[in-house]
Structure 1
Amino acid sequence: MPITDLPRLMVAAASSGSGKTTVVCTLLELLRRRSCQAAAFKSGPDYIDPMFHRRVLDTPSYNLDLFLLGRNEPGRDTACRILGRHGRQKEIAILEGAMGYYDGIGMGSEASAYELASATGTPVVLVVDGRGSALTLAAVLKGMAAFRKDSRIAGFIVNRVKPMVYARYRRAWEGESGLRSLGYLPDMPDCTFSSRHLGLVTASEIADLQDILRKLGDAGRMSLDWSAMMGLARTAPPLSWKEPDMAAPADTVRLAIARDEAFCFYYEDSLDTLRSYGAELIPFSPLHDGSLPDCDGLYLGGGYPELYAQNLSRNGSMSASIRQAIRQGMPCLAECGGFMYLHDYYRCQDGQLLPWAGVISGETYMTGGLRHFGYVTLEARTDTLLLPRGKTLTAHEFHYSGSTASGSSCTAYKAGSSRQWPAIVASGRLFAGYPHIHFSGCPDCASRFIGACRQFRKERMR
């Protein structure tokens, strides 16, 4: 059982919009300036915040999601393993919370940032918005820390507050809440990150991101108590986990993975799980490349294909290449944006129909609101590429688009609710639908996927 001493902190908040990502990027920028080796992690299923982490550190950022990985002991152990593996040899790990600290499934705290902090033994710093509040801020801090006896909340950072206001109220906030202040960030309107329908815009879309990070780093250097934060991080207990008992794969298969502006939503450790079963990941671009690379399987992840609908439609040679490969029996997993791309058509808001990959008979389109949002459990109604009939896997949905062919090979059960609906187009070696999955939480699915790729390679080599 590996054990590592990993100083670590979770940055959490009472609600979304408090500035967690801004504070985390500031901390990572300060660590970079100090040449301090850091690892970054994100609580929950979000893809976009880790992109910001990666742009600051120039290293991958990893998701720790106790629903997708599993809320049982093996799932908690997997979360500790991901944290420990990537944090080992690092001087500190920074974990970014999701939504409100205690917000989990339904009305409970299951799979929340709080539950993750408990599972990993991570001290918590609470980010609070300092605008329009004085002593009441202490009540918020005290209430958050005392809401659960094992809250692990030990300090706070006040965001968007004037320096004079912070200096005036700091002692009152500390005295009344019993928590230590670790500094503040002033209101910096020119350093905000824009949003769209799936949350923040991706880091690669912000042309002046490096300038924003520089300004945040300059502000944080003057206003954050870095030595106190490092001291708090070092109070984290040693981290232990079990390594899975896996035999080395006999051979490798070439798995083409879509990675460009339109398709960019992947969990890094999910990809590592595919590698552990023998996948060599071959990146390609449905936007810019003319055809698939030489490969034995295809993975089309999520993203924003609707923003590049015209360009995807114009690249007819790539559409034909994908269509032909799938019709020949190539295993294909398509999630959300990748699922959308496989449709015959994309319907624009003006009604225009753009031809897409032509694998799934139907059309996809953007709607006026959020269609499905949250965790689901998928149960296979028939044997599929990833799941045998009757078996289940955990997944996450978050999309504003709709489809005339959402599929019915699985039933999706919404976590914390009685709602259910048909999902997944599965025929032959195709598994396509809106749900996102994390292979670290369902290694048997990864084994089936790569096994099918291996079988396809044998067939095409005959």
Structure 2
Amino acid sequence: MGNNVPRMMLAAANSGAGKTTVTCAVLQAFVNRGLKLASFKCGPDYIDPMFHSEVIGAKSRNLDLFFYNEDTTNYLLAKNAADCDLSVLEGVMGFYDGVGGFTTQASSYHLAKATATPVVLVLNVHGMSLSAAAQVKGFVALREDSNIKAVLLNRCNPMTYPTLKQAIEAETGIPVAGFLPKLDDCSLESRHLGLVTVAEAQNLKQKLQLLAEQAEQTIDLAFLWELAQSAPKPAFTPPALPKPLQNAPLRIAIPRDNAFCFCYEDSLTLLCELGAELVEFSPIADSALPADIDGLFLVGGYPEVYAQQLSQNKTMLQSVYTALQKGLPCIAECGGFMYLHKTIEGVDGGSYPMVGVIDATSFNTHKLCRFGYTTLTAQCDSMLFRAGETTPAHEFHYWDSTDNGNCEHAKKPTGNRNWQCVHANENLYAGYPHLHFYSDPMLAYRFLQQCANHRKKRDHE
């Protein structure tokens, strides 16, 4: 972790401004120039990092100041960018939009400030002229330490770009580093949780190359490169991590297919560093869980979209049910939690049998429910938690459950909204809240400890 981590953040005035499109264009253009890149997403989003990963050929990571502190954030930034030529951070929502909507906590601004990363503000200027300068001026002026160093214009008319660039720079003193025109052929498809996953995106490789070709023509990549070099070396105290388990490696099954693909890569890496070996499988295509596994981590995803295929794979459903009945330690978050239900309502409205460990139905609410950050307080001792312990979490789902559990008490960080959730015991964590192991590395350690206990019991039997 000794390098300076050349880096920049692509942030935006608002959601829908085209951050991910611009980020992918810039990433692909630099990859085409032969550079090795790292990429990061501000906040809890799972899908945008998948697109980054498709471009750079390595796993993109999340940086989230609600889940962990500034030291850990800078540690993960430096750790994951250590051998890369350039790191690109993609912002979340509007630049200053943080926890609760009216704070800057965990916002793109907060991350840029905490990591001393220069910011390039992406503006969707479709239908705008001089008002674009007013937006830039306002964003720069709201906080003296905004670190906004440049602007990129998205959906910009090539004919008006020179005049618009001149006006913005004259009015604000902030350089304009180029633009992307409206590119209908390069749009990224969406669904109820945001963009579709990489595996489902149509003609993605072709779209990425078209974006990169456009970036080469109309974005000042040399300027962005120099801007990234100005970022100082990250400063941090590394987090205290538990020692790896001695009886490793512990085989942890993790689903990887179109139905299950939402997970924090740093959480998985931490599991491996503490003694896990991840064994991938497909609940859609495989007939059973992998052999000789010591634990199961059912990550989130879109089981409601693939409910019919999941339900038809009866041997896999039986394999999971039997394993959990025998005490296989299991973490099941959001989509993984839904998979453990007795039935899921599919996107087509049909009812589809699932594993059945949770005697409940997961159903479509047709709206986001309990969306956003929350803090969990354990109501009892369980595999991951001791009674009274708290941990940050995140929920993002349209489907709900007829039985969310009552082993955790969840409370929003602002306001008074709170609720009971999570099914938990000595072998199980199952609920809608997503966890990040770097918020408390002991969560990962306790999970692996229980996996080790299960292995001993299995080997003895």
TM-score by length of 2: 0.97
Residue in 2 aligned with 1:55? 54
RMSD: 1.2
Letter in 2 for 1:76: E
Letter in 2 for 1:249: L
CA contact (8 A) 1:3 1:239 kept: no
* Shift in Å, 1:348: 4.1
Moved more, 451-460 or 167-176: 167-176
TM-score by length of 1: 0.97
Matches of residues 120-159 of structure 1 in structure 2 within 5 Å?
120-159=115-154
Residue in 2 aligned with 1:341? 339
Do structure 1's residue 261 and structure 2's residue 258 form an aligned pair? Answer: yes
* Shift in Å, 1:4: 2.6
Residue in 2 aligned with 1:403? 401
Do structure 1's residue 34 and structure 2's residue 28 form an aligned pair? Answer: no
Q: What does the per-residue CA deviation read over 1:132-183, in whole Å, with 9 as the maximum and x for residues that have no partner?
A: 1111110100110111010000100010011111012211111101101100
Matches of residues 308-457 of structure 1 in structure 2 within 5 Å?
308-348=306-346, 352-457=350-455
CA contact (8 A) 2:305 2:346 kept: no
Whole-angstrom distance in 1 between the partners of 2:164 and 2:257 = 47
Whole-angstrom distance in 2 between the partners of 1:355 and 1:235 = 55
Residue in 2 aligned with 1:291? 288
Do structure 1's residue 76 and structure 2's residue 70 form an aligned pair? Answer: yes
Whole-angstrom distance in 2 between the partners of 1:351 and 1:369 = 15
Task: Give unpaired runs (5+ residues) of structure 2.
Answer: none
Secondary structure in structure 2 of the residue aligned to 1:370:
strand
Secondary structure in structure 2 of the residue aligned to 1:299:
strand
* Shift in Å, 1:351: 5.9
Counterpart selection for 1:233 from 217, 225, 228: 228
Do structure 1's residue 249 and structure 2's residue 242 form an aligned pair? Answer: no
Residue in 2 aligned with 1:11? 10
Letter in 1 for 2:448: I
Cα 1:349–1:181, aligned 2, differ >3 Å: closer, same or farther? closer
* Shift in Å, 1:243: 3.2
Cα 1:176–1:378, aligned 2, differ >3 Å: closer, same or farther? same
Letter in 1 for 2:188: F
* Shift in Å, 1:349: 6.3
Whole-angstrom distance in 1 between the partners of 2:99 and 2:237 = 27
Secondary structure in structure 2 of the residue aligned to 1:125:
strand
CA contact (8 A) 1:3 1:241 kept: no
Whole-angstrom distance in 2 between the partners of 1:167 and 1:337 = 47
Secondary structure in structure 2 of the residue aligned to 1:310:
helix
CA contact (8 A) 1:374 1:415 kept: no
Cα 1:263–1:350, aligned 2, differ >3 Å: closer, same or farther? closer
Whole-angstrom distance in 1 between the partners of 2:280 and 2:456 = 22
CA contact (8 A) 2:67 2:393 kept: yes
* Shift in Å, 1:195: 1.1
Do structure 1's residue 108 and structure 2's residue 103 form an aligned pair? Answer: yes
* Shift in Å, 1:373: 0.5
Letter in 1 for 2:99: I
Q: What does the per-residue CA deviation read over 1:251-284, in whole Å, with 9 as the maximum and x for residues that have no partner?
A: 2111111111100001110101111221111111
State the aligned residue count: 456
Whole-angstrom distance in 1 between the partners of 2:229 and 2:314 = 55
Secondary structure in structure 2 of the residue aligned to 1:105:
coil
Q: What does the per-residue CA deviation read over 1:324-349, in whole Å, with 9 as the maximum and x for residues that have no partner?
A: 11111111000000000000112346
Residue in 1 aligned with 2:81? 87
* Shift in Å, 1:369: 0.9
Residue in 2 aligned with 1:72? none
CA contact (8 A) 1:44 1:98 kept: yes
* Shift in Å, 1:241: 2.6
Whole-angstrom distance in 1 between the partners of 2:450 and 2:201 = 39
Q: What does the per-residue CA deviation read over 1:293-342, in whole Å, with 9 as the maximum and x for residues that have no partner?
A: 12011000000001111111111111111111111111100000000000
Do structure 1's residue 181 and structure 2's residue 179 form an aligned pair? Answer: no
Task: Give unpaired runs (5+ residues) of structure 1.
Answer: 70-74
Secondary structure in structure 1 of the residue aligned to 2:29:
helix
* Shift in Å, 1:3: 4.2
Whole-angstrom distance in 2 between the partners of 1:352 and 1:122 = 48
Residue in 2 aligned with 1:160? 155
* Shift in Å, 1:429: 0.9
CA contact (8 A) 1:44 1:112 kept: yes
Moved beyond 6 Å, runs of 4+: none
